Amino acid sequence: MSARRQAAPGRAGGRRRRSPIVVGLAAFVAIVLAQAVFPQWARAAEFREVTSAAGVLYDGPSEHARRLFLVPRGTPLELVSSVAGWVKVRDLSGDVLWIERGELGAARHVIASTLAAVRRAPQRNAELLLQVERGVLLEVVDDEAPAGWLHVRYPGAAAGYVEAIEVWGR
């Protein structure tokens, strides 16, 4: 008979088994640290839309900064940060610009980020009502659509559903 060493209690094959509490605590600490180091990854994007007739986008947080673009009412913009009455925003193209806080309000519109299909029902095989090209604004009718879909309206057309992956601003 050969002599076999028995593993000490709590050890299997010489390796220490970690408590589920310790593993869970380590994962929690890692997530908290990641949120502190990479805050933009830690939360969902926040959007506002232009509420004035035409929003002025600047290259810096000042009226003396260079005016770069005018964007129409309803254009959604992603909030990046804010400084004393100014908001740093990202547009559909990914450009990061500044706008006066007073020109922004709650987001009620989305922009087609690709050729987007507006359908009668929230299903890919539902009747196609219309297609809109990239950059076209759609009004969000309500928040009652199933996950992955938005209930939208194009001016002068019936309301329908668009897949969330085909639009930007929510």
Asked whether 115 and 91 are in contact (CB, 8 A), the reply is no
**Same-domain check for residues 51 and 103:** yes
Residues 130 and 100 in one domain: no
Note the pLDDT tens digit of each residue in 121-158.
Answer: 999 999 999 999 999 999 999 989 999 999 999 998 88
Strands 15-16 and 11-12: antiparallel
Do the beta carbons of residue 84 and residue 63 sit within 8 Å?
no
pLDDT tens per residue, range 21-48: 755 555 555 554 555 555 544 457 999 9
Query: What CA–CA distance (Å, rounded) separates 108 from 145?
Result: 14
Q: In the structure encoding, which two tokens stand for residue 68, read together? A: 């770069």
Do 52 and 102 have their domain in common? Answer: yes
What is the residue-averaged pLDDT of the chain?
86
pTM: predicted TM-score of the whole model, two decimal places: 0.71
Whether residue 151 lies inside any domain: the answer is: yes
The CATH number of whichever domain residue 136 belongs to comes to: 2.30.30.40
Closest CA to 129 of 141, 48, 147: 141
The 10s digit of each residue's pLDDT in 78-127 is 999 999 999 999 999 999 999 999 999 999 999 999 999 999 999 999 99
Last residue of a domain, which of 107, 123, 140? 107
